[in-house]
Amino acid sequence: MNLIELSSNLLLIAFILYALSMIVFFVSITGRRFGQRDPEAHMKKFGKIGYIFALIGVIFHAVFIGLRWYIGGHIPTSNMFEFMQFLAFAITLAFLVIFPLYSIPLIGAFVMPFVVLILAYASVFSREITPLVPALQSYWLQIHVTTAALGEGAFAIGFAAGLMYLLRTVNLKENSKSARWLEFVMWGILCLVSFVVLTFGFKAANYEAVFKAKVDIMGTPTDTTISYDLPAIAGPQNGTLLTQGKMQPVFETPSFMKGQNAAHKLNTVIWSMLGGTILYVLLRLALRKRLALPLSRWVQDLDAPLVDEISYRAIAIGFPIFTLGALIFAMIWAAEAWGHFWSWDPKEVWALVTWLFYSAYLHLRLSRGWVGQKSAWMAVIGFIIVMFNLVFVNMVIAGLHSYA
């Protein structure tokens, strides 16, 4: 077995352990639900087991990161696969730090499924170890990206606790604005699930459609081939389908979207949203109720103010780390790599938007007394902005960070 195979196996073991942790945390919360003789003891026992699985999983994950770093010669955070797997690692680390402070198994039941989903999402991207482009050949890569990811990992815990608070306090049987927005969050999660399922499904079917097109690469029109792993809804500009028997594009990718993979990325986003919408409709028809309603039944015994505190504490921990990684270290590296601190690149802009939003969250909570539902909604919306930056901006909008 070579080192690359070994590293892949280590990540697979970590994924399995995270999945087991998720299952055990779900088992832990069934005690009160199904009338265990001592539900508190049941929750405590299985909560500890779930925590241990997550802890062992993060150890295997850390070894994977170290081994891949050794193989590639740089920290594995330079492309979508590497960064998203590192984000899953960061979320788990944040969970392992925060969980012992409160010992509420429901936190694990909400956080660990998200870790599993993020790691599955990472796995659909290419795992190939490639040399770094010149702009990334710097020690600032590990400093900037790792601290930004660790801050976002803490924000994910704030998101999970904020979502738990809303499920606990919002009356989902009424047709209120809050209830409708919670359903939007459920739809967004299903879009991510849909992307993972569709990609793995079409890969299992060995689907591939190849197009020939002239693509604007660094300002130069270049003839190239583009490979699609999902049927082409959005095709490349003036592209010609080379693979017989595959679906013709419904429309061409808009001309303002630049880069060799712009059309492929837009097609992926469209499939994710389409699949998520279909999945949402099917689940609504099957359940005949809002999707958030079954989840809300699991959190009714929670102490709402305590969950609100967990969300705030996680964000308060993550904010200075994110500030260092996503803004200060990023600007220093930008000055070193490109000769200027700021360039209004889409990735930079959305990192600033994220920072400003969480700054507003902390200001409104500490100075204006925004607690409870207002604070929880900001925790949820803040992480939606983070995911928008990681998924939509990376996948659709071209910029100086498009090499990632």
pLDDT in tens, 318-362: 999 999 988 888 888 777 766 767 777 777 888 889 999 999 999
> What are phi and psi for residue 102, nearest 5 degrees?
-125, -30
CA 400 to chain centre: 21
Intervals of the chain under pLDDT 50:
400, 402-404
pLDDT of residue 403: 46
CA dihedral sign of residues 152, 155, 157, 160? negative
At residue 325, the pLDDT reads 85
Q: What is the pLDDT of residues 25-41, one digit of tens each?
A: 988 887 655 555 677 77
Q: Identify the pLDDT of residue 1.
A: 56
Q: What pLDDT, on the 0 to 100 scale, is given for residue 316?
A: 94
Q: Which residues touch 20 (CB under 8 Å, ≥6 apart)?
A: 53, 57
pLDDT tens per residue across span 128-171: 777 766 666 677 777 888 898 899 999 999 999 999 999 999 88
DSSP result, 180-221: HHHHHHHHHHHHHHHHHHHHHHHHHTT--EEEEEEEEETTEE
Residue 260 pLDDT: 65
Q: Residue 169 corresponds to which amino acid?
A: T
Confidence at residue 401, expressed as pLDDT on a 0 to 100 scale: 52
* Res 122: pLDDT: 86
